[in-house]
Amino acid sequence: MDAPTTEPTVRPLTPETWPDLERLFTRPGDQRGCWCMWFRLTGTDWPATRTAERRAAFAERAAAAPSPGLVAYVDGEPVAWVAVAPRGEHPRIPRSTVIVHDPEVPDCWSVTCFYIRPDHRGRGLSTALLAAAVDHAAAHGARNVEAYPVDAQERTSSSVMFHGSLGLFTRAGFREVGRRKGRPTVRLALR
């Protein structure tokens, strides 16, 4: 794959950048139905909502500060996304059967998903997005950043990898703090 002609630019999701996220999320793939609402809805609420409702709910959240994620651009085109927000915004996390949830961890933010356009995968965008997500969380008072990656020993379907790989997070300094049903939970202490 060709490398981008410029370094990625990463911008917070705001009402101004919302149309760029729409362009990314209306492409074929799982993001099209989720709209980054999986962790924001309970197991009961998820099936009770339609895609249009999820999209509207996330648009409403995008209009509030702090931004719930970041959009990456290459040569001015939106090509990738990372969701990062205070852990308390995600009611599914404490109820999860695969996440090690420690409510005593102070000021914790969660990196819950990545989406990279297929024609831009394998170019290091997830590394750039993760670094920007940690910086974004720190700038808004996070003392810890947590994630729930996939420990992929072999090549895995991209539809499973939206959480990011364990290697991505460990290379960025995250430490594994536990596992449930084989899924690691990783955390980075910022201060």
Residue 46's SS3 state is helix
| Cα gap 96→112, rounded to integer Å | 13
The CATH-assigned architecture of domain 9-189 is: 3-Layer(aba) Sandwich (3.40)
pLDDT by position in tens, the chain (length 191): 444 456 899 999 999 999 999 999 887 766 778 889 999 999 999 999 999 999 999 999 999 999 999 999 999 999 999 999 999 999 999 999 999 999 999 999 999 999 999 889 888 899 999 999 999 999 999 999 999 999 976 555 556 678 899 999 999 999 999 999 989 999 999 97
User: In this structure, what token pair is assigned to residue 145?
Assistant: 């950043």
- What are the residue ranges spanned by the domains of the chain? 9-189
Enumerate residues 6+ apart whose C-beta is below 8 A from 182. Answer: 98, 151
